[in-house]
Structure 1
Amino acid sequence: MLRDPEGVRGDAALTAIEPSAVPAALGAAVDRARQAGVTVEADVDPGVASLDAVRGMAVLRLTQESLTNVAKHAGTAALARLTVSVVGGAVHWEVTDNGRGTVPAVVPAGGGHGITGMRERVEVLGGRLEAGPTGAGWRVRTVLPAVPERDMSAGPRAAEAS
């Protein structure tokens, strides 16, 4: 069942973040997970600062939700890995955990809409979310396609002619 369409208007998939702020915001999300007791290894491509604002927000929200899920489900003894790279303008994003947690971390109530919300966010941007078990742990990953560039030099009629 889909959520109320009125609620989508304020959804973070449709909001933006200043692109230059994305690396710091991802760092803050990693720090919050670490403060909750989760060990997080992060490999974030500095190229995320050049993403368009909507994709930057999507990467941030996916990261926040995934690291929260690691804390909730794998616990504080788990090792989480965040990998974000920008290749040809497309964003390759992944969070994995080793599934070795024993005591769930204390995580504030509220937040996102889990895997369903993550999947919706990715699909709005033309990507496909993969989520499921891997070894003893869990993996969530996607590739967010690059924003198609518009050929402004040919004028507005060029697209109509093709």
Structure 2
Amino acid sequence: RKLGDGPSHIVFESMHEGTTDVHDREPYLTKTTDGKLLKSSTIFIRNDEGKPVGILGINFDITLMKAFERSLDAFTGTGGTGYTEPEPITKNIGDLLEDLLHECEQFVGKPAALMTKDERIRAIGYLDRRGAFLISKSSERACEFFGISKYSFYSYLNEAKAAADDK
């Protein structure tokens, strides 16, 4: 854009709000006719009575930066897997089980000691889906973690599997 070019849609919308109630516009995106992407800001210049008499428009071409951002995201992204947190690398299988136990607390949203029966069933189902019970003696550690008996553990595991089958 150059000096004297017409205003953007944002300016017209602002002017429509009323001459005394127009507000400066924080950065917003605009696109030129030749396809350049701009980060734009609009600042209204006012006379002594507060009436807008001019506009200062600041436009910054971010086309290359956005292209770079997309390239960088394609390189570093996880392809829409839904994982937003880095997966911890554990040194031994016991640490992996402990990580999974703490993950299930985050999944349910409360510590194991405060979970209701239904929440424990959800947590145990989560652990089962994550493969926690493929680890030797993991059921014993889960019983200890949740403060339940082996009988309750297997009952909860069966309920979690049945609920998963119903879906």
Shared fold (TM-score, shorter chain, > 0.5):
no
**Which is higher, the Rg of structure 1 or of structure 2?**
2
Greater relative CO (CA pairs within 8 A, separation 6+): 1
TM-score by length of 2: 0.22
- Relative to its length, the structure with more helix (as a share) is 2
Larger fraction in strand = 1
